[in-house]
Chain A
Amino acid sequence: MPEPIFDYEARLAACGRGERQALRDLYVQESPRLLGVAKRLVRDTALAEDIVHDAFLKIWAGAAGFDPTRGSARGWMYSVTRHLALNFIRDNSREIQGDTDVQNDAETFDADVHSSRIHRCLEQLEPSRRICILHAYVDGYSHAQISHKLGTPLGTVKAWIKRSLTALRECMG
């Protein structure tokens, strides 16, 4: 039997009407994945939980004003969480303490299991450029951190990312 489809839009609209159970449903449905995304960015479980806490408050407070024409409710939940985490790591400039804690490759990008369009478009990029995009989006690395990690000059990294983004836009529409 196919898994019943979880209706994010309906839950979010219910949050907008002040229905607590809908927030709980969204939490049960997405919090492990959101926590995973936040933790990969901030590198600390307690901090990542703080981010997810703030994200759910933002989701609750912003639910009534959510505009479904701008994108999916699920996508919005990820955007809220990611940007909170990105603001945190940029504001706290992980770079200063951070070049050394750029993680080792144990946590790789297991793209084989992913069939969505973005992954197919990524595969069309050269591996070194693909890795730049993934380190930026998934790990929250700055240009300088990617340059350090790959041993590639900063200017090259910036140019690769810029061109890769253009290629992705063309591939994905």
Chain B
Amino acid sequence: MTTRPVDETPDERDELASEYVLGTLSAERRTEVQQRLNDDAELRTAVDAWERRLLGLTDLAEPENPSHLLWQRIERSVNALNRQPVTPTAERSSWWNLLPLWRGLAGAGLAATLLLGALLLTQATVKPTYMVVLVAPQDKAPGWVIQASNRREIQLIPLGVAEVPADKALEFWTKAEGWQGPVSLGLVKPGQTLSVPLDKLPPLEPNQLFELTLENPSGSPIGKPTGPIQFIGRAVKVI
């Protein structure tokens, strides 16, 4: 949150509002103003007044008829919007609906398959029934493997030591199709194997999602992921 500078005079505030509406502020200062507008009533009043003053200038731009497809696009998007309940947590969990992320993960599937094959060859003694490779969302680098030799317990195995800022912790989550939201499986120490009993959850199922997010040291305060995703992947049934 950006707070107003303590020594800002009304004139400075009005000047900021005027240049924001005029459009001459830099990207950084625009973001700053837009954040302040959420809870700075005085700045909001100043901006509203400038919007009113300058509105008449919009008719200097020549009108142009949109293509007939534009309304259809808007309608489709409104339909999609209406299917999602608008709740304060909607924004937090909205990454579940991030198409690019899932497209990327589809690409990571091949890497996962290869890795999975390698692991199967090296760990022939206990045959897992499900496996998950958790990859970093940006570069798809595999970071952890989850294996389950039965559907009641899983093991989270590190492939390296993930870097976690000193004031943060990694929290482990899962979500299967049809669940309301992700469920926490607890905090994870970088570089250490973790066994998690799934006794309070339904049995593992194909395609079940697992991920590690960056949270406060004591875990997410709201019981849902709030921080950025560090690693993510889906369960694959091993034949």
Give the interface of A toward B (CB within 8 A).
Answer: 18, 20, 23-24, 27, 31-33, 35-37, 39-41, 45, 48-49, 52-53, 56-57, 60-61, 70-72, 75, 78-79, 82-83, 86-87, 90-91, 93, 107, 109-111, 114, 116-119, 133-134, 136-138, 140, 142-143, 161-162, 165, 168-169, 172
Contacts and interface: CB of A to CB of B under 8 A. Distances in A.
Interface in B74-103: 74-75, 77-78, 81-82, 86
29 contacts: A23-B78, A32-B64, A32-B65, A33-B59, A39-B61, A39-B64, A40-B62, A45-B64, A52-B66, A56-B78, A57-B74, A57-B78, A75-B51, A75-B52, A75-B55, A78-B58, A79-B51, A90-B27, A90-B30, A109-B60, A114-B56, A114-B60, A116-B59, A118-B53, A133-B22, A137-B57, A138-B61, A140-B23, A161-B22
Main secondary structure, interface of A, reads helix
B3 interface: no
Contacts of B82: 18
Contacts of A86: 23, 30
A116 B56 contact: yes
Contacts, number: 132
A32 B63 contact: yes
A118 B77 CA distance: 36
B36 to A, nearest CB: 14
Nearest to A171: B53
A71 B71 contact: no
Contacts of B44: 70
A139 B143 CA distance: 48
Contact of B59 (A93, A114, A133): A114
Contacts of A33: 58-59, 61, 63
B14 A169 contact: yes
A155 B34 CA distance: 26
A27 B52 CA distance: 21
Interface in B181-223: none
A53 B70 contact: yes
